[in-house]
Structure 1
Amino acid sequence: MNVATNTLRLRSSLFKYNNYTLLTITTFKHSFSTSSRYLNKNNENDIACNDKNLEAGSGPLFVNHNNNYKSSYQTGMYGSTEVLNEDLVSDSLPTVDLAHEAVLYNNEHNTEDSPMIVLHGLFGSRTSNRSMVKYLSESLKRDIYLLDLRNHGLSQHISRHDYCSMAADVERWVKKMNFENRKPIIVGHSMGAKVAMASVLRKPSLYSILCSIDNVPVATFPLASFPKYATYLLKIVNDPNISTQKQCLEVLKPIEKRHAVQQFLLTTLAKYKDEETGKYRYKSKIPLGILRDSLIKGNISNWEYNSWVFKANIPSLFIKGSTSDYMSDEYCSEIGKFFPNFELKTVEGTHWVNSENPKGCADVITEFIERKEDK
């Protein structure tokens, strides 16, 4: 049903003041219909973000984020600004090949059931979910693929690091695998959960079930700890006098006291022998500079999709760590706007519940999938 609503339309203009680019806002009345895939696509009054600085990706972060988007703006519920952006579903985004690891039940391909894709979080890799996937393989008895997302693990490095481009990488991988009529189940934790959500919203017909572990489809305030992780890991890499894990832990201690998290962060580094000095030191396996830049810009905490435009009705499971603060009740209320056919389950653990309680996560995912597939 078409719903016509009077709302405020934002015109944006830029001016320079003391070498800072500022955004000025004026408003006027505008109507839109919620039935349109892109609400203002055919509206002659719609105004593209056509400032050349913005188009080149050098405009204010809150207008253009890190991408060369031509966006339109509209005042949403409670006065929030909604960004309507066709690039979020574009098939022409630069993509990279993703490294993967296949986990086969009894070392044999299952050609009947939907395969499963599992995506890791920030600073992780395909190895991050091996324990959980071991339980999933035993219970679901199907092919499971652990992927390295761009700028992680063994996958290629690229300067752009945001959710629509990471989702496009996954789509490319799915099409390359040619699963025929077996639509894959997509599972993700933390950053990987948002990649999974973006993938489903971009191409709902490509996937059969979504499972998100401890993340929700909302933009949140960037956490200060994550850029610090990248900064302090770079300190280790750039210091030729650091040659032992004990020294690495000492560097990380001021910003992270938890030993398990320290050990997790150190998986991004590798020890090698410096040919010039003959001494051992550390190098990074992943592009810490790119990830740090993406974190500071807010790309990881960001969420550019909005529920006026994007919805997916496939069965969707959202798992919350019982003591995690990533999924507050206020955030969880937004899930149904994007994924109306969703269920929310709590598993004992923190934000890293997939590693702390892999069996608990696997049991909840297995029950959900078997019930939805009606096996």
Structure 2
Amino acid sequence: MLRIVRSCKIYQNVNWLDENIYKCSYKCVRYAVNLSYKVLQQIIGTPSDIAPPLCILHDLLSNKKQWNSIGKTINNLTKRPVVIVDLRNHGMSPHTSSHKYEEMAIDVQNLLKKLSVDKAFFLGHGIGGKTAMCIALLAPKVVAGVMIIDVSPASSPKQFDELYSDIFTIMKKITFKNETKLEATQARIRKELKESLHDDIVMDLIISNVVLKSDLTIGWTCNLDVLIRNFNNMTSFPKRLKGNTYHGPTLFIGGQLSEYLPSVVNLAYRVHGKQDLDNPIIILHGLLGSKRNWESMSKKIVHVTNKTVIAVDARNHGDSPHHHSHTYPELASDVKHLMDSLSIKKADIIGHSMGGRTGMVLALTEPASVSRLVVVDISPISTAGVLNDFIPNVLKTMKSISFDGINDVNKAKAYAKKLLQSKSINADTIGFILMNIGVTPYKTVGWSCNVEVLSKYFIDIANFPNMSGKKYTGLTLFLGGGESPYIPQEDINGIKTLFPKAELKYIEDAGHNVHADSPTEFLQIVTRFLLLN
């Protein structure tokens, strides 16, 4: 049975380890505040009888009310007590002149002591996630495990600064005119903001901070001026905790389209031509391909354009690291990470198939980084049936091939070729697949591509992610094979919704691997496009 109580002790007969709470300086403890909180399901017992409670810590400008529904669901599913907290300067918790992560960590530890809890799990979102990480690093004995939602201790994206700077600017302009009716005030503010603010999520976030206060006036429930003054403290993780380690269970959960929790890998690449990284050409291969497939074409493009060409191995392919995930936003982030590491501000992108969709996502999410975009035989609108039917069978066959006991790459290729031929796969495709046999990251002979992960994420590979509302207005060329079904002509209207300046061309008699089937015509069309003024 669910029960909500305002103040209680979750556990009785607990010997609190006081030393856990005083890991910070005296100054931090001296300024600790008594947080407002809600406990779901009071259970009387001892820690040996009951699972450690879950403590939920919200993000900037949020509060415990917004986590009430999730807290109830977790409580019902796990039968674990849940404590939902208002951080200092938020919700119903006290306002104070300072707002640092170490201080917020001490606030929460004080609350656990008040509730006679000697150990808890923590779920923290945004600044609540950083607060949970601080607790784990400062007082690991009180932490049973941490779940961090969409925030990193290592970096803070520029979007965080930009978003909240805009929100704070909007909130500072809002005035309260001695109003006494909360709903009417919220409706007035919503109406005023609609003209300049078109993001419903941001709108709701702002409105949720308009409350009837204890003195019966209407105003901000958050301490707006202090949050603005201390904003720099929230954008970075405390440097003094560098070197501290938490060895307990830790789960980071990020949004696929979010940049708050990067999940990038350091891609393998090869530079062709002069080492001039001012607006180079970056080539992204297709599924089960590698930079080796583009070796000859890369050199030809260098010769014609006199520009630097960088051929890249995608994650889980070629010489690039294997990773447990494989989505287009992640692949695009990998490419952006490579560009940043090489100090490349803008580049022309050529992407084939999977690489084409990666290039499209990069252009839509980081348009300032893409000078021109060439998409080779793949559409963001539809998926060819052959992709859904044929590739899963190829991956299944690859997974079934064991290279145990084979220590020679050539012998492994001969063995795999025989098995692939028995599956009635054509010779060209077999040759393409066999290029994936080599020395694995584990120093054994086998598939250089991550067949398990590619199989697991095939649906993500076969479908273009939802990019509604985004546009890339740079010059874009879609180049399809005349004998390929991968870019239907009827997709052009949908393509132009995302890429208004897109043009669509076909090379007759070419299949899906346009650059290999008709290399001369491919080179002519692509280089002419890239050299346009």
- TM-score when normalising by structure 1: 0.70
Alignment partner of 1:299 out of 460, 465, 469: 460
Change (3 A) 1:218 1:69: farther
Which amino acid in the other structure matches residue 99 of structure 1? A
Any gaps of 5 or more consecutive residues in structure 2? 1-194, 206-251
Q: State the 1:333 CA deviation.
A: 2.9
Partner SS, residue 346 of structure 1 = strand
Q: 1:342 Cα deviation (Å)? A: 1.0
How big is each residue's C-alpha offset from its partner over 1:54-87, in whole Å with a ceiling of 9 and x where there is no partner?
xxxxxxxxxxxxx9676xxxxxxxxxxxxxxxx4
Q: Residue 186 of structure 1 is aligned with which of 332, 349, 353?
A: 349
Structure 1 CA distance for aligned equivalents of residues 259 and 335 of structure 2? 13
Q: Unaligned regions of 5+ residues in structure 1, if any? A: 1-34, 46-66, 71-86, 276-280
Match of 1:337 in 2: 497
Alpha-carbon offset, residue 226 of structure 1: 1.2
Q: Which residue is equivalent to 1:369?
A: 530
**2:298 touches 2:309 (CA, 8 Å); kept in 1?**
yes
The letter for the 1-side match of 2:495 is: I
- Provide the aligned length of Structure 1 versus Structure 2: 290
Q: Relative to total residues, which structure has the larger helix share, 1 or 2?
A: 2
In structure 2, the CA distance between the partners of 1:38 and 1:109, relative to structure 1 (3 Å rule), is farther
SS at match of 1:187: strand
Change (3 A) 1:184 1:36: farther
Please say if 1:270 is aligned against 2:433.
no
State how 1:110-129 maps to structure 2 within 5 Å.
110=276, 114-129=279-294
Question: What one-letter code is carried by the residue in structure 2 that aligns with 1:267?
Answer: M
Asked whether 1:166 is paired with 2:331, we answer: yes
Q: 1:37 to 1:123 in 2, by over 3 A?
A: farther
Q: 1:37 to 1:338 in 2, by over 3 A?
A: farther
Deviation at 1:37, TM superposition (A): 10
What is the deviation of 1:346? 1.0
In the alignment, structure 1 residue 103 sits paired with structure 2 residue 268: no
Residues 330 and 263 of structure 1, relative CA distance in 2, 3 Å threshold: same
Aligned counterparts of 2:197 and 2:417: Cα–Cα separation in 1: 50
Q: Residue deviations 1:65-116, cap 9 Å, x none?
A: xx9676xxxxxxxxxxxxxxxx425253311000100001xxx3346x6210
| TM-aligned CA distance change 1:187 to 1:239, over 3 Å | same
Q: Please point out which of 295, 315, 322 is paired with 2:482.
A: 322
Q: Cα gap change, 1:36/1:338 in structure 2, threshold over 3 Å: closer, same or farther?
A: farther
Q: In the alignment, which residue of structure 2 is the partner of 1:150?
A: 315
Are 2:368 and 1:198 aligned? no
CA shift at 1:357, angstroms? 1.9
Larger RCO, structures 1/2 (Cα 8 Å, 6+ apart): 1
Change (3 A) 1:96 1:38: farther
Q: 2:429 aligned with 1:261, yes or no? A: yes
- Say which of 79, 88, 96 aligns to 2:257: 88
CA–CA distance in 2 between the matches of 1:230 and 1:125? 16
2:395 counterpart letter in structure 1: A
**1:354 paired residue number:** 515
What amino acid maps onto 1:314 in structure 2? G
**Structure with more strand by fraction:** 1
Q: Structure 1 vs Structure 2: percent identity of aligned residues?
A: 26
Amino acid at match of 1:102: V
Deviation, 1:187, is 0.8
Once residues 247 and 37 of structure 1 are traced to their aligned partners in structure 2, the CA distance between those partners, rounded to angstroms, is 62
CA distance in 2, matches of 1:362, 1:161: 30
Q: 2:473 aligns with which of 285, 309, 313?
A: 313
How far, CA to CA, are the matches of 2:365 and 2:390 in structure 1? 30
| 8 Å contact from structure 1 (residues 225, 255) kept in 2 | no
Q: Is the 8 A contact 1:347 1:353 kept in 2?
A: yes
Q: Whose radius of gyration is greater, 1 or 2?
A: 2
Q: Answer whether contact 1:132 1:361 (CA < 8 A) is retained.
A: no
